[in-house]
Amino acid sequence: MRLALLIACLLAGCVIAAPTHAQPAEWGDVPRRALEMNSYSADSNASAVVLSDVGTVHFDSRARLVYERHRRIKILTEGGYDWGTVELTYFAEDRMQRVTDIEGHTFTLAADGTVERHELDDDDVFREDINGTHERKRFTLPALEPGAVIEYRYEMRAKSPILMPEWTFQTDEPTLWSEYEVEIPNRFHFVQIVNGVADFHQREHDEVLGPMGSAQKYRWVMTDVPALRAEPFMTTPRDYQARIALQLKSYRTSRGHVEEFMSSWGDLAEKLLDRSDFGGQLDRGGDVRTRAELLVGDAQDPMGKMKAIYDYVRKKVEWNGAQGYIPGRDVDDVLEAQSGSSPEVALLLVAMMRNVGLDAYPVLISTRDHGKMQPVYPFLSQFNTTMAYVETPENGYLLDATDPQRPYDLLPERALNGVGWMVTDEGGQWLSITPGPFRRQTNVVGRLTADGTIEAQVQVSDANHSALQRRRKLKEQGAQAFIRSQVLDGLSDVEIQMHEIRNEAAVEEALTSIVSIRAAAYAQRAGPFLYVNPTLLDRRQENPLRAPTRTFPIDFTYPRDLSYIVSLELPDGYAVKDAPKNVQVKLPEQGGYFLRMIEVAHGRLTMRTRFLIARSKFGPEHYEALRAFYERVVAAQAEQLVLKRTATSEAAEEASAGGTGR
Amino acid sequence: MTISKGIRWAWIVVVLQAMSAMGTFAQAPSALPADLDETFAIGSMHRPFIQEAPAVVRLDVRRFEVESEREAVDHVRRVVTILEPEGKEHARLVLPYDKFQKIDRLDGRIRDAHGNVIRKLDDDDQHDVSAISDYSLYEERRVRVAELFHSTYPYTVEFEYTIERDGLISWPTWRAQERKLPVEHTAFTITAPTRMPIRYAVEPGEWAPEEGRVGDRHWAQWTATRVAKGASVSYGPPWRERVTTVHTAPTAFEIEGASGRMDDWAAFGRWYHQLSQDRAQLPAATAREVQAMGAAATDTLEAVRTLYRFMQDKTRYVSVQLGIGGWQPFPASYVDERSYGDCKALTNYMQALLQEAGIASFPVLIRAGREAPPILPDFPSNQFNHVILAVPVAGDTLWLENTDQTTPFGHVSPFIEDRYGLMVRAEGSTLVRTPGSAASDNAQRRRARVRLDANGDARVTVRTTFTGNQQDRVRLALAQKTAHARKKWVRKQIDIPNFSLRAADFSSADARQSVIELPLTLDLPRYGSRTGRRIFFRPNIMQRWTHVPPAADDGRTAPIRFGAYPFLDTDSIAFTLPDGYAVEAVPEPVDVDVPFARYAAGVERRADGTLVYRRRMEVRDASLAPQQYDAFRSFLRQVAQADRQQVVLVEGNS
C-alpha cells in the first residue's frame, strides 16, 4: 500500500507524510499523540481518519458465526462528525442475526491537557424496526469536537455461515490500519474474493484448534490505505475499493458428508430453476397465459409477439423501485397487482413469452452502482437484479420492462455493466451487454437580423439513451418547461413562437422537438460590428474531466454521437470579417472525433459539427487524450463569427439618421 | 391573519342546506351530497375533469370527532378514480402513526369503471415501515402504506380509515385539495363536546362553515364541490400556500399527562414554560466554569457572547424525539454530558448557562424556514416547529439560534427573520417579532483584478465581502466544509468552469463574524475565447443572471417571490489587457431603475489602457404584488441581457 499511497500523493501534488507506524488499537487505550494530531498530511481533504479498524470472525461450539468489530476514528473537523453516528442494519427475521454488546466512547483533550473519556450511554442506543424483517441499531457518540478520537465496538451473531460479513479496507476517508481475522472450522469451506489493490501489509494463514475442532485461521492487514472518492464517468467506487469477501463453498454435515453449498454456475442454474419462486414461475399458465395469448392474438412472428408482450408489461406493470434477483410473489399476482420488483417484472415477461412459444430466459445482472460481476466466482450474491432474454430466429434481445418510457431495444443505464448471466437448463450462459448510443441531431435554420436577433426553426431529434432521458424530463416538466430547459438549454432569453413534440408516446421512434424561436439580442451589436456564436444549442461549456490524471478506466456508460447543423441567413449590408476555422480532432484507436465545417456563401452561414465518442469505455492510458479532446471541443464551440457593416450600408444608415457618425 | 390578495378562487364553494337544528341527527349532518353515486361509476363523474388530470378525487370526507382534551377519533373516506397509469400513485395511501396516533381500522376496495367492487384491500397490499426523519437520530414514527393497483383503466379506489388520537396538542389543518388533482366533492367536519369550543381560522380568503349543535355536542363543517385542478406558478408561493386552508385548534388539550390551554398566547406559553421548568440544573463543574466566564466579562453583552460561543463550541445538533419529548426539552445536564441536543434541548441549555451567570432569557417558539408561510397571529395554537432564545440586553433584544455551530453571535438568519414568535415566560407570554433586513444589510461587495493574456487565459485576484443574509448563504456553504466542497462552491460562483484555485483563504467563513471576507486567486484558462485575431470575454466574471421568467399566460394572480430576502450586489473588476490588442467593442452602459429594484452596469476605459467593469444590482423588495409581474419580468430580462454582454479585443488595429 505504501507505494500506491506514494503514487497517489505525487499525483495529487501533495507532500507525503512520514510513515504513520500504524498499529491496531487496543480498547480504551488512546495514545496521546492520536489526540494531539490535528491534520493528516497525506490527504488535506480528510475530515476524519480511520485510525484502526479490526474485525474478527469465529464460530462458536454451536456453529454460530460470531463477528466482533472494533473501530477507532480520529475526527479532524466538524465535517467528520458523521463518523460519530453509527447505523448497524441486520436481518432480524427468526433472529437470524443479532447485534449486541455495543460499547462506545469519545476521548477529548481538555484545556489543561488531561484526557477526558465520555461513555456512550446504553439508553442512547436505539433499535429501529425497519420493515418487519430488517432492524437497525443507531447511536451517536457523545462529546464530539474537532480533535476527538471516537471508538466503538459491537458483536454480531448470525445463525448461518452464509451471513459472513464482507470486509472493506478502504472508505472515503484514509485508513491507517485495517485488519480482518477469520477463523473457519474445517467443517466449512469458504472461497476468498479479493477486490481492488491487494497490497497487504500482512497476510497470514494458520491451522488452529477452535471450539468446533481444527480450523483455518486467516489474517489480512492493510495499512495507510488512501481514501477512495467518486469521480465522473465511474461505475461505482466499490469496483475499485480494497475489500475481501468470503463465500461459503461447501460444508461437512454432522455425519461427515460434504455438501456443496455452491459449486458451479451449472449447479446454481439448476438450483434456481428448481426453486418454486424462480424456475417454478417461468412456465406458469393460468391468467398469465390467457393475458399473453390475448396480447399476441393471431401474430405468428416471434418479433411481433415479443414486442406485444414487452409493450404491455412496460406500460401496464409499474416497477416499484425494488431490486433483487428473486421475486417475492408469483407472476400471476404480479400481473394482477400491476406492480412489482425488478425480478417480478422480469419473470412475468419470461413467463408470458414462454406461454406463447417464445424462447425466453431470465438473466441476472449486477447494476453499475452495485459493482462489477466476477464470472470466475459462482455466487449469486453478486447479482442484484433480473432481466429477461428472448431468442428469435434472427437475433437475441435482452429486455427490461421497468420503465414505461423505454423501448424494447434499450436497457436502463444502471444495467449497462458489461455482462449478464442467463439462467438456462444447460448450465447458464454469460451474455455480453452492448450499450446503445446516446444520439442527438440538431438542426437550426433561420436568419440573423442587423439588431442581433435570431429567428429560427429548431428541430432536435433524440434517439436511444438521449430520447430516454429526454422523455423522462418531458414527462416530469411538461412540454413548455421541457422545451425551455432541455431543447433550448443555453439560450437564456428566447421567445417560443410555436412548438411541437413528435413521438412522445412512440418510444421506439426518435423523440423530435420542433420549435420556432425568436432570440432578441442573441448576437452582440457594437458599432459597425455584430458578433455571433453559431453554436446556439448544446454548447459544451466545460471539460468534464477535471482531474489532471486518472488511474482507473473512464466509463461513459454508452457511446455518444451528437451532430449539429446550423444554417443562418446573414443580415443585408454586413460582410464576414472573421469566421471560426474548420476543426478536426480525433481520439486514438478510432475512439471518436470532433469535426466542424463552416461555410459562408450567398449571405448564408452553414456550420456542421459532429461530436462522436465511439466507445463507452476507455482505459486510463487514454485519459490524457480524452481530456485534451474535450478541451478542444469547449474552445471550438466558444468561437464567434464577426460581421461588419459594409461601407455602403454604413453611409446609407448615417445619411438616413442625418447622422454625425461614430 | 395574512390575506394574500388576488387569489383566484379555484372552486365554487357549495354549502349544503343547513340541517334542521335539533334532534333529527344523533350527530353532525352527513357531509355527503344528496345525489352521490355510491358506486362511483365513471358515468357519474364530472365530465370536464376527465381531460384535466390522470386521476380525479371523487370524494374526500374527513370527520374529526373530539372526545376530550386528550382524545379524538379521525375518520377519513377517500375515493379516487385512476384514469391512466400516470395517476397510479394516487392509488397509494400513506398513513403515519406513532405513540399518539394509532390506526384503528383501514379498509379499501377497488371498483371497475361501472362501479362494481372487484377486489378488497388485504394484507398483501400493505406494508409497515419505519419513518424516522432524515434529520433525526431516533423517532417513534412509522408509516403504513396501502396500495390498490389494478390492470384495467379507469378504476376507482376507495380507502376508509379511522385513526385514534390519544394525546392531542393540535387539531387538523385541512384543505379542500391536498394534492393538485381535481376534486368532485370534499368535506371536513369537526365535532366536539359543547364544553370544548371549536376554534378555527381560514386563510387566505374567507370561508364560513356550517355550524350546529346536537345534544351535548356541537360541530362545524366545510364542504366544496368541483374543485378544479391546481397548478404551480413560477416565482410564486408554493401551491399549498395559495389554496384556502382551514386551521382548527383546541382551547384545552392534554398530551402524556401534560395539560394546557390555548385561549390566548399567554396560556400556550405557560404550558410550554411548565413543561421545560426545572430542567436548567447544570453539573457543578460547568456551573463553576460559567460563573468564572460571567465574572470575567466586562458587561452583560460580553458575558452573553462568551457563553454563546462556549455553547457553540461544545455542542452539535442531534435530534431524538420520544413521546412527550417532541415538546419537552431534555434537561441541561443531558446536553452537558453528551454535548448534543435538538433545538429545544440546546435552547434550554443556553438559557441555563445564562441563568447561571445571572442573565435572564426567554425561549421563543417560531416557525422556522427560509420561505415558511407566516403564522396566524390571531389564532393561538401550535403553529411552530423551532425554538430560539431571546436575551434582553441594554434596551435591545439578542436573538440566539442555538442549533448551529457557525452562526455569528446574534445573527438573525433568513431561517427565523422577520416573523412572529411566541416569547415564553411563566406569565405573560406574548407574540414578538424578529427583526427583518433591508437590501443594504444583505450585501455582497466584490473587488477584482483580472490580467488577461493573448491566449485568452486570465489570472484573477478577487476579494469579496458578504454581510447579513448573504453572509449566511456563504457561511452555510463554506463553514466547516472540506477543501473539496469549498472548491466546488467556488466553481459554482464562476462562469468559467475550468479554473484552478491558486490561493484562497476560507478562514473567515469559520470565524463566526458578521462579515465574511473571501480572498481568492484563480487561474482561468480560456477565460477569453479566441477566434482569429479577436478575443471575446464577458466582464461579469461571477454570478451572471441568466434566467428570464416566462410570460404570464392570462394575467398573473399569484404574488411574486423574488428570493427570500432583499439584497445588494456590487462588483468592480479592473482588467489589464494583453499587449498589442485594442478594444473593439465594450457593452453599452445600462441603468434600469424600477420601484422594487435597480440594476446598473458599464465599462469604463481608463487612460492607462485598463478597463473597469462596474455592476450594481439591488433588489429592494423580495415579495411583489401580482400586478408587478410584467415589470418584474422585464427587469430580469434586461439584467440577463446586460449580464451576457462581452468585451471584444482585436490584435493590432481594428
Complex ipTM, two decimals? 0.81
Q: What are phi and psi of A352, to 5 degrees?
A: -60, -40
Beta-carbon neighbour count of residue A396 at 10 Å? Answer: 12
CA–CA separation, A493 and A372 (whole Å)? 44
User: How many Å separate Cα A549 from the centre of its chain?
Assistant: 21
Q: What are phi and psi of B51, to 5 degrees?
A: -80, -20
In angstroms, what separates the C-alpha of A406 from chain B's closest C-alpha?
A: 15
CA–CA separation, A635 and A253 (whole Å)? 69
Element housing B636 (H / E): helix B629-643
Beta-carbon neighbour count of residue B313 at 10 Å? Answer: 12
Cβ pair A124:B338 closer than 8 A: yes
CA–CA separation, B497 and B544 (whole Å)? 13
Residue whose C-alpha cell reads 362511483 in the numeric block: B40
For B623-636, the pLDDT digits (tens) are: 999 999 999 999 99
Kind of pairing between the strands at B319-321 and B136-139 = parallel
Q: Give pLDDT, residue A6.
A: 34
For A304-314, the pLDDT digits (tens) are: 999 999 999 99
- Residue A389 CB-density burial (10 A; 0-12 exposed, 13-18 middle, 19+ buried): buried
Q: Give pLDDT, residue B340.
A: 95
CA–CA separation, A238 and A240 (whole Å)? 5
Question: Most A CBs within 10 Å: which of B340, B404, B540, as the mutation test of the A interface?
Answer: B340
Beta-carbon neighbour count of residue B362 at 10 Å? Answer: 21
Element housing B269 (H / E): helix B265-275
Cβ pair A338:B316 closer than 8 A: no
Q: At what angle do helices A287-296 and A302-316 cross, to 10 degrees?
A: 120
Q: What are phi and psi of B319, to 5 degrees?
A: -105, 125
Q: Give pLDDT, residue A256.
A: 85
Q: Give pLDDT, residue B271.
A: 95
Cβ pair A315:B85 closer than 8 A: yes
Question: Which residue type does A561 have?
Answer: D
Nearest to B149 among A77, A318, A493 (CB): A318
Kind of pairing between the strands at B611-619 and B597-605 = antiparallel
Residues B103, B163 contacting (CB under 8 angstroms): yes
Q: Give pLDDT, residue A4.
A: 38
Nearest to B532 among A316, A521, A578 (CB): A578
Is A118 in the B-facing interface, judged by CB distances under 8 Å? yes
Q: What are phi and psi of B311, to 5 degrees?
A: -65, -45
Nearest to A493 among B313, B530, B641 (CB): B641
Query: Is the pLDDT score of B23 beyond 80?
Result: no
CA–CA separation, A366 and A417 (whole Å)? 7
Is B9 in the A-facing interface, judged by CB distances under 8 Å? no
Is B85 in the A-facing interface, judged by CB distances under 8 Å? yes
Question: With contacts defined as CB-CB under 8 Å, which chain A residues touch B89?
Answer: none
What is the secondary structure of B139-196 as a DSSP string? Answer: E--EEEEEE---SSSSEEEEEEEEEEEESBS---EEES-SSSS-EEEEEEEEEEETTS
CA–CA separation, A659 and B634 (whole Å)? 30
Residue B476: all three cell numbers together: 452555510
Q: Give pLDDT, residue A649.
A: 64
Residues A219, A202 contacting (CB under 8 angstroms): yes
Comparing C-alpha atoms, which of B283, B291, B17, B40 is closest to residue B185? B40
Give the residue from chain A lying closest to B153, CA to CA.
A316
pTM: 0.86
Residues B420, B433 contacting (CB under 8 angstroms): yes
Question: Which residue type does B457 have?
Answer: D
Return the ∠ at Cα A483 (arms to A478 and A487), rounded to 5°.
135
Nearest to A640 among B340, B483, B536 (CB): B536
Residues A424, A443 contacting (CB under 8 angstroms): no
Three-state SS string over A287-338 comes to HHHHHHHHHHCCCCCHHHHHHHHHHHHHHHCEECCCCCCCCCCCHHHHHHHC
3-class SS of residue A176:
strand
Q: Give pLDDT, residue B178.
A: 85
Residues A144, A150 contacting (CB under 8 angstroms): yes
In angstroms, what separates the C-alpha of A256 from chain B's closest C-alpha?
A: 43
For A480-509, the pLDDT digits (tens) are: 889 998 999 868 788 999 999 999 999 999
Q: Please give the torsion angle defined by the CA atoms of residues A245, A250, A254 and A257, in that order, rounded to the nearest 10 degrees.
A: -170
For A91-140, the pLDDT digits (tens) are: 999 999 999 999 999 999 998 999 999 999 999 999 999 888 999 999 99
Query: Is the pLDDT score of B25 beyond 90?
Result: no
Q: Give pLDDT, residue A198.
A: 75
Residue B230: all three cell numbers together: 391546481
Q: Give pLDDT, residue B174.
A: 96
CA–CA separation, B150 and A315 (whole Å)? 13
Is B378 in the A-facing interface, judged by CB distances under 8 Å? no
Taking only residues 421 to 460 of chain A, the set having a beta carbon closer than 8 angstroms to any beta carbon of chain B reads none
Share of chain B above pLDDT 90, in %: 74
CA–CA separation, A121 and A140 (whole Å)? 10
Three-state SS string over B244-266 comes to CEEEEECCEEEECCEEEECCCHH
Nearest to B130 among A128, A333, A521 (CB): A128
Residues B25, B214 contacting (CB under 8 angstroms): yes
Beta-carbon neighbour count of residue B146 at 10 Å? Answer: 21
Residue B177: all three cell numbers together: 385539495
Q: In the predicted model, what is the mean pLDDT of chain B?
A: 90
Residues B414, B469 contacting (CB under 8 angstroms): yes
Comparing C-alpha atoms, which of A173, A217, A218 is closest to residue A200? A218
List of chain A residues with pLDDT < 70? 1-21, 490, 649-662
Q: Give pLDDT, residue A10.
A: 34
Comparing C-alpha atoms, which of B178, B161, B203 is closest to residue B55? B178
What is the DSSP secondary structure assignment for residue A485, as one 8-state letter? I
Give the 3-state secondary structure percentages of chain B, helix then strand then coil, rounded to 5: 20, 40, 40
Residues B235, B560 contacting (CB under 8 angstroms): yes
Give the residue from chain B lying closest to A128, CA to CA.
B130
Q: Give pLDDT, residue A550.
A: 86
Q: Give pLDDT, residue B495.
A: 67
